[in-house]
Structure 1
């Protein structure tokens, strides 16, 4: 395995910043689950990619992403769980306002996400992560 958690997160961020739904979707497994903070769920890379085409061309067009790992745990030789603080926006700097959990699987020489959960931060957490 030559990939790193930071390398995976950087690919996700770069794809988001570029508004590239195809490249964004490629970071997720064919059978991935993807839960957003609004309470919707997507299943599979194809649905994640299609939905993000609309995200990038309508609701979040021109936004950039910040993401910082705050907890990384290897579950076994092929699975790593990563909790991140993240945010999207157009301001500079972009505030952290969400927690994400990525369940990553070794896929050849790189990580792919098999399950993603996005949750809005509480006011207390926002104060901690945005000093």
Structure 2
């Protein structure tokens, strides 16, 4: 498997775990000391906190939610052999229908650990219209 394919596989596992409502599998995609920055700026540091926070979300307000993609592959750039930056578009759906108000651009910093590639940093930015520009 190429390095790009290995990074894409991590991003695919994140989506699969989210769509399954599996907080443990979702958190396993992150390093022990990862930073997870939400679209509203909250930083959840560490795999254990990422798992606990997502467990609460998957059992509560985001139960049954699904991640949606843009259909375009993520942009992946290797800054070193063991460090990659991926930028991907997507969003989430609470009722099975795409919700443009939940569209985001997500930036990932991934590192190759001895057993797997994992996300060391995650930044979710909610897309909003640019004032004065057509949508």
Q: Same fold (TM over 0.5)?
A: yes
User: Larger deviation: 103-112 or 61-70?
Assistant: 61-70
Query: What is the Cα deviation at residue 38 of structure 1?
Result: 1.3
Structure 2's unaligned 5+ residue stretches are none
Runs of 4+, deviation exceeding 4 Å: 93-96
- Compute the RMSD of aligned alpha carbons: 2.1
For residues 65-76 of structure 1, the aligned pairs below 5 Å read 65-67=67-69, 68-76=72-80
The answer (yes or no) to whether the contact 2:92–2:98 under 8 Å persists in 1 is: no
Give the match's secondary structure for 1:104.
strand
Structure 1's unaligned 5+ residue stretches are none
Query: What is the Cα deviation at residue 71 of structure 1?
Result: 1.8
- Between structure 1 and structure 2, the one with the greater Rg is 2
Aligned to 2:35: 33
Aligned to 2:52: 50
Query: What is the Cα deviation at residue 72 of structure 1?
Result: 1.1
Aligned to 1:101: 107
Q: Could you tell me the TM-score, scaled by structure 2's length?
A: 0.83
Q: Could you tell me the TM-score, scaled by structure 1's length?
A: 0.86
Q: What is the number of residues matched between the two proteins? A: 126
